[in-house]
Structure 1
């Protein structure tokens, strides 16, 4: 889900702000207009376009059960469609300059319940029946009126652009991916052996039973597994951001390979390794201002662990 990394602290206000930004970007040619919910209220919609699209946002107040969530979504849709049919709200829509309404968008983070689709269709039929019975009263509703459920995934392009171009103060949070228990079976044995061998070289050929050595290996194997998960999720949900990270990682990996392979003095392994850590974190911080600071640290250790696991980072024993 595209919101997996989106700060982790979304609430109703933040969701509405995100939705408004998405609609402004997508419908800028149709002059999307936001309706502030003051001085008379929002008339049951958050905004409208000049070609007859109106939208209403909803974000769950807490983690509801499936049935509870459906009931809240259903009731929210019912209330706001009810406003659309109210004579007082019709007057308010006209005062705001809302054109003939062709589409009413219900914008929610995700929808996993087909009952909401059925409810949307029943409300559409209710609206069309009302228009059929009293066409003059409901002349603000088009003959092809539709209720459309929109979810975050429908706005992948806009959300990615909002993040990359810092059009919002919200930043991506990579630390929400939590690997509580390392499953070594998820990591190929040659990758684990590479990590062990290189950590040992950095720690000056420390004994296998040394607790600090084992902790370091555990940390980098965990980071390697977590890094694979994070990069996969970025690739699926934020393709352009994934490309940003991947391109920097690939470019810097060549530098890392040269820097470590050309070192002839193994007593400098620890110094070089820490220089790479610090320099790479600076590059990440400079290029990816849309990541939280904790996420920069997360990304650094995850990518370093990948270099330890493959052949790009090598140290002489």
Structure 2
């Protein structure tokens, strides 16, 4: 399996995802899947009636950058060779439309030399007189990874019943310290609020210090997660923000009326947010880890920005 920012794939699952990407993206251009047949692979997985053909490739295991590049490069070379070998057969399927673009779809690109290789092959085939019957004068060879299909990602994951995940590193101690140095006022707010969670605790000061660091860690990681969603799943982020804002609107009112102890009230608010996400079907759309990151980001954000506070002695 190859792990990417959004998912993980082997050869079969990548090809399945690609077909859904392409059918969704290029429906209006008459996309046709080239289903495997008895005469074997013709070097393309599908094509549009506008002159774009596609070939999918994903190795079944992780490789370091150099090895992955070599496998991808050789696959490009081999499958482009099939255009020449199967020229007459391909024309039977694509008709009079000449191929303008041959796009190599692979989950992740780790070496820019693959782009250079594709450019070299484009020039080679474009200047091959024997290929004029099949290829357009402006024939090009491109490589695209899953990032080219972020708008189709939610659709595909729903079809395959996969959940969206975001791979964001846990902030280091140095990042937490740097945040505290830059946000001194926010740190004071956190200490004041969180100390109320540990009133009467024999280790109140130590627990407060530790929990402040946890909240800052959750805030940094959560905001990095939201940045990833903003870049790659903007519609999903918009829905998350709407749910979060709806919960936030009522926090201060509920604080005035509650008889719950601070820890219990904090737990109730998190549970309420989780229930709201699940009611909007997020439980079926996002992974457990992503859901937890989103909930913890909200708690941290509310504590820093003041909507979530606790009465003295509550």
Q: Which category of TM-score, normalised to the shorter sequence, fits these structures?
A: 0.7 to 0.9
1:255 and 2:250 correspond: yes
* Structure 1 residue runs without a partner (length 5+): none
1:172 and 2:164 correspond: yes
Report the CA distance shift for 1:251/1:218 in structure 2 as closer, same or farther (over 3 A).
same
Question: What secondary structure does 2:139 align onto?
Answer: strand
Question: What secondary structure does 1:142 align onto?
Answer: strand
Rounded Cα–Cα distance in structure 2 between residues aligned with 1:215 and 1:12: 45
Task: Tell me whether 141-150 or 45-54 shows the greater mean CA deviation.
Answer: 141-150
Size of the aligned set, in residue pairs, is: 304
> Counterparts of 1:221-232 in structure 2 under 5 Å?
221-232=216-227
Alpha carbons 1:224, 1:302 under 8 Å: kept: yes
Alpha carbons 2:105, 2:144 under 8 Å: kept: yes
> Counterparts of 1:35-50 in structure 2 under 5 Å?
35-50=34-49
Normalising by structure 2, we get a TM-score of 0.84
Question: What secondary structure does 2:9 align onto?
Answer: coil
Rounded Cα–Cα distance in structure 2 between residues aligned with 1:179 and 1:62: 28
Alpha carbons 1:106, 1:148 under 8 Å: kept: yes
> Counterparts of 1:1-317 in structure 2 under 5 Å?
5-7=5-7, 9-86=8-85, 89-97=86-94, 99-111=97-109, 113-130=111-128, 132=129, 134=130, 139-163=133-157, 166-174=158-166, 176-179=168-171, 181=173, 183-187=176-180, 188-204=183-199, 206=201, 209=204, 211-260=206-255, 262-263=256-257, 265=259, 268-287=261-280, 288=282, 289-317=284-312
Alpha carbons 2:103, 2:142 under 8 Å: kept: yes
Normalising by structure 1, we get a TM-score of 0.84
Task: Tell me whether 220-229 or 53-62 shows the greater mean CA deviation.
Answer: 53-62
RMSD of aligned residue pairs (Cα, Å): 2.7
Q: What CA deviation, in whole Å up to 9, does each residue of 1:2-42 have, x standing for no partner? A: x96523x3333332222222211111011211223353333
CA shift, 1:210, in A, is 5.2
Report the CA distance shift for 1:72/1:5 in structure 2 as closer, same or farther (over 3 A).
closer
Rounded Cα–Cα distance in structure 2 between residues aligned with 1:185 and 1:207: 29
CA shift, 1:209, in A, is 4.4
Q: What CA deviation, in whole Å up to 9, does each residue of 1:137-173 have, x standing for no partner? A: x52223332212223332232224545xx23322112
Rounded Cα–Cα distance in structure 1 between residues aligned with 2:115 and 2:215: 46
Rounded Cα–Cα distance in structure 1 between residues aligned with 2:178 and 2:294: 22
Rounded Cα–Cα distance in structure 1 between residues aligned with 2:119 and 2:108: 18
Rounded Cα–Cα distance in structure 1 between residues aligned with 2:54 and 2:64: 25
Higher relative contact order (CA 8 A, sep 6+): 1
